[in-house]
Chains A and B, each alone.
Chain A
Amino acid sequence: MGKIIIPHIHKIEGKAGFWAEVTEKGEVTDLKINTLLGLRQIESILIGRRFWEVPLVAARICGICPVVHILNCCCAIEKVFEVKVSETVVLLRKVLLASQIIQSHTLHLFFMTLADFSNIENDMDLLKKFPKEAEASLLIRDFSLKITKIIGGREIHPMTIKVGGFTKLPKKESLEALLKEYPKVFEAALVLAGLFKNLVYPILERKTKFLSLASKTEYPFYYNAKVVIGGKAMTIGDFYSNKIEEDFKTPPVKKVKYQGESYMLGAIARISNNRQLLNREAKNVFTDFEKKERKNINNVFYNPFYQAVEIIHFLEETEKLIKEIMERELVETQKEVKISKGSGLSAMEAPRGTLFTYVEADKNGRLLDCNIITPTAQFLNNLEDDLKAYLPKIADFSHEEKVKKIRALIRVYDPCISCATH
């Protein structure tokens, strides 16, 4: 019996360690991902607080994906108060959410996961080995951050998004300028996808269920009333209330299971569930890849490539949305918010998968309950199951090689420990 321990997995958002007990044949008798961040108790501290503080505080769950936390909180509270925001507000929020996914994916691809498939330990060296792709990544990231800033007011923890609408709308000139920049950024996304399409990935394909929002008309990302998991569609309320269980016994993370089993979410799950709804160029790039890799299309190590496809998709989406916004008047859209008691559930696609935010408020708009189920809390069980399936495959490797492969598998998931341990 041997142990494999990796005290700190670097280059992920937050801190985590890996621990496993393995027989000589490589069979795993015990395995754990340990999250190493403190519990901030963000849901609990919100109870009793005023509703407008919820997006502000919940944004601070995560410095890499605050936008989707803010949007999902606002949307859940709008359900409590039965506020219907204007179409323009929805369009602007969709652009923000697209920028959030592009920004997070790009950071993960170049700075966190690429090194694992190119034998480089230090990111400064990555910049030297892949200068063209580095430039492309920085250009895409810069563009997505600019969008967040123009509409949200700031790149990290934006403050214009509020229950009912926005505190302030962007200027049309700023949006126009984004459209001018778009073609170059789009080209850069193709360059980045080209790199990730041609990397050599290990293969690990274990049967699991893919969760994402469901839609018949668009590649779903902003609020949708339905999810699909393992081919089955259901309302988000049914999924949230009846089909999943959170494990409250293992702080600081509430790990989630679907009917007793692990499941997968994020780019690979979204594309698997909604590939026919991808925008044109994203679909082309994906279809090309699919022709070549059909038999391993659900290989979890491909997740970075799927993120690269989504970057293309969400850039195309951004262009479409901004053009639509440009045809509208950008005037005060704030809906009057009538505070009332009730509860609300919202679900949106965060970069790493479907995010659920539930709130309950009293008649003064103070919180009675709050529950935020993050993508990482949902996929940690799946990651552990994948690691258990993967370790026997690498039983013959040296300890050093094993550690490298384990870290690579953990990183393709793009775990966000700040989100998981909020």
Chain B
Amino acid sequence: MDKKPKIGIFSLTSCEGCQFALLDLAEKFFNFTKKTEVIDFPLIEDEPFPEDIKLDVAFVEGTPITSDNVIILKKIREETKLLVVIGNCAALGGINKIKNYQDKDKIVKRIFRAANAVDNPKIRSVSDFVKVDFTIPGCPINGEEFLAIAEELIKGNIPKIKEKPVCSECVHQGKETCFLRKKELCFGPIILAGCKAVCPASDFPCYGCRGVLKNINPKGFLAALKKISSSEDIKADLEIFGIKDDLEKFL
């Protein structure tokens, strides 16, 4: 029998929702893990990461915030062939990154007066610390999409997520109910699809948790948005899921 690929599922600082998105798949997820050897998954297993085993694929959720987070992340990078980040926190800093747009030293003092005892770095993505081989985006990730991608990754293939906008999957596309047609803000046209436009389907606009499309020039779109929303609000909206940095030069 062929040796099963070895995987690990790790979490830095986050809500851990992306790991729960996997557990929520229930049998489908357990069937996937049967094709692999799960070396470490602290959320549901007690055995710690063994020293001498190399991983084929490591899935990493969360933002590196504490110095321990950074040490563990670097160790994972050393121990694995492929490092795959899952979710908005790992990919783009997540909601944690809102802090970057305020005075972080003042912020921490709002709650903890003895603040020197706590890690309070500028929020950065995992890829700012180590080489990332693949990103599964979203807040949280879509479990089904994870499975499709992970099946390829454990075979050693690096798949591609099609560069299409969220609108291409949206129930409101071309209809009067489209947020933009109603002159309400929605980032759908410039955001990577694959989520099945789950937010607009719930009559909630897209705030871009999956990140900005790579093959587009968003300048015209952002200029058009200014007709329906103030510059200040657009900027604040882009800050929620950490996509403002990528668009700064077009604003």
Contacts and interface: CB of A to CB of B under 8 A. Distances in A.
Interface of A: 8, 10-11, 13-15, 36-45, 47-50, 53, 56-57, 59-64, 66, 107, 111-112, 115, 121-124, 127, 138, 141-142, 145, 152-160, 167-168, 248-252, 254, 407, 418
A111 B23 contact: yes
Contact of A61 (B15, B98, B204): B15
Interface string B188-200: 0000000000110
A94 B98 CA distance: 31
B41 to A, nearest CB: 9
Contact of B63 (A13, A36, A38, A157): A38
B202 A154 contact: yes
Interface in B108-154: 108, 110-115, 117-120, 139-140
A142 B24 CA distance: 8
Contacts of A252: 112, 118
Contact of B110 (A44, A50, A60): A44
B26 A138 contact: yes
B47 interface: yes
B18 A39 contact: no
29 contacts: A11-B42, A36-B66, A38-B12, A38-B64, A38-B66, A39-B119, A40-B96, A41-B99, A41-B108, A41-B111, A44-B108, A45-B95, A45-B102, A47-B110, A50-B236, A63-B16, A63-B21, A63-B140, A66-B15, A107-B20, A123-B44, A154-B202, A155-B24, A156-B140, A167-B202, A168-B202, A251-B114, A251-B117, A418-B16
Contacts of A251: 111-112, 114-115, 117-118
Given A43-B111, A122-B47, 16 more contacts: A8-B42, A10-B42, A10-B43, A56-B240, A57-B98, A60-B95, A63-B21, A64-B16, A66-B17, A115-B46, A121-B46, A124-B38, A157-B139, A160-B202, A160-B204, A248-B113
A111 B112 CA distance: 34
A42 B202 contact: no
- Nearest 6 A/B pairs, CB to CB: A63-B17, A38-B65, A153-B202, A38-B13, A251-B118, A63-B15
A11 B15 contact: no
B140 A157 contact: yes
Contact of B204 (A66, A115, A121, A153): A153
A152 B14 CA distance: 21
B127 to A, nearest CB: 18
A48 B14 CA distance: 22
B195 to A, nearest CB: 10
What is the predominant secondary structure among interface residues of chain B facing chain A?
mixed
Contacts of B204: 153, 159-160, 167
A179 to B, nearest CB: 22
Interface string B41-58: 011111110000000000
Nearest to B233: A50
B176 interface: no
A186 B199 CA distance: 31
Chain B interface category by residue count? 35 or more
Contacts, number: 176
Nearest to A160: B202
Contacts of A13: 16, 43
B59 to A, nearest CB: 15
A275 to B, nearest CB: 31
Nearest to A152: B202
B107 interface: yes
Contacts of A41: 99, 107-108, 111, 120
**B24, B30, B233 pick with most chain A CB within 10 angstroms:** B24
Nearest to A42: B95
B228 interface: no
B240 A156 contact: no
A407 B42 CA distance: 14
Contacts of A10: 42-43, 45-48
B118 A124 contact: no
B185 to A, nearest CB: 12
Contacts of B139: 60, 157
A249 B66 CA distance: 18
Nearest to A48: B102
B142 to A, nearest CB: 9
A64 B118 contact: no
Interface in B69-105: 69, 94-96, 98-99, 102
Nearest to A139: B26
B21 to A, nearest CB: 6
Nearest to A141: B26
Nearest to A159: B204
Contacts of A248: 111-114
A191 B138 CA distance: 36
B2 interface: no
B44 A39 contact: no
A44 B107 contact: yes
B108 A40 contact: no
A4 B15 CA distance: 29
Given A154-B202, A155-B24, A40 B65 contact: yes
B221 to A, nearest CB: 22
A138 B120 CA distance: 39
Given A127-B30, A167-B203, A60 B68 contact: no
B45 A159 contact: no
Contacts of A50: 233, 236
